[in-house]
Amino acid sequence: MKNVKTTPACPCQSGLSYKQCCRRFIEGTHTAETAEQLMRSRYSAYVKKDTDYLLLTWHPDYRPVSLNSEDLLNHWIGLKIKHTHQGTINDSIGKVHFIARFKINGKAHKLEENSSFEKTKGHWFYLTGKEF
Ligand SMILES: [Zn+2]
Task: Say if residues 68 and 83 touch (Cβ distance below 8 Å).
Answer: no
Q: Residue 5 has what pLDDT? A: 64
Could you tell me the domains of the chain? 23-131 (3.10.450.50)
Output the CA 3–ligand 1 centroid distance in Å.
23
Output the CA 76–ligand 1 centroid distance in Å.
13
Dump pLDDT digits (tens) for 38-87: 999 999 999 999 999 999 999 999 999 999 999 999 999 999 999 999 99
In this predicted structure, the answer to whether residue 2 has a pLDDT above a threshold of 90 is: no
Task: Say if residues 68 and 122 touch (Cβ distance below 8 Å).
Answer: no
Task: Say if residues 130 and 119 touch (Cβ distance below 8 Å).
Answer: no
Output the CA 107–ligand 1 centroid distance in Å.
24
